[in-house]
Amino acid sequence: MSLNKNISWFIIICFSFVIFSCGKNKESKNEAEIINKYKDLKYALMQAKKTVGDYLQFAYSGKFKDSAGIEVIAGSELSKSNEIGIKFYLLRINGNILEKSYQTKLLNGSFQHSIIQKIKFPWFNYELLYYNSQDYFMGSSGGEIISYIINFNSKEIYYAHLVVQ
């Protein structure tokens, strides 16, 4: 009788293990599918617009924090009477939606004729964002070039400004 009881418990434990193991594989497979969707920049921008707003102009996916997986960064250019400049957003993937986890303050610059790209330094295990206005930013009559390197992991913005006269 106790042998049958032990076999029954063994079967229940094995069955439970199989059920929970299959659930994990399906969950990680769904997570991998979601991450692959965000590698498509059009999809990333469309989803970022749902979270932040239709005024976003670009989105990139990548690893932008030390402890996180794939995330999305996006940028907007504001040209309201009291707000003129650019902002960058870090968006965390949570299931099928994006959640805003950080945004920069309003920075000088414009996305018109600018360079925006992800950069990777070998001493960081995450990516940074590089912005260069080239010669478009018209803060003065002589022309200005503004550059930023944004470290979303430490929430730091490194800034360079060249004025040509």
Query: What pLDDT does residue 114 have?
Result: 92
Query: What pLDDT does residue 93 have?
Result: 92
Query: What pLDDT does residue 141 have?
Result: 58
Helix (H) or strand (E) holding 102: strand 97-103
Query: What pLDDT does residue 138 have?
Result: 58
CA distance 101 to 46: 18
Helix (H, G, I), strand (E, B) or coil at 164: coil
Cβ atoms of residues 138 and 144 within 8 Å: yes
CA distance 110 to 8: 69
Query: What pLDDT does residue 75 have?
Result: 97
Query: What pLDDT does residue 127 have?
Result: 96
The parts of the chain modelled with pLDDT lower than 50 are 24
CA distance 148 to 157: 6
C-alpha closest to that of 109 among 81, 143, 137 = 137
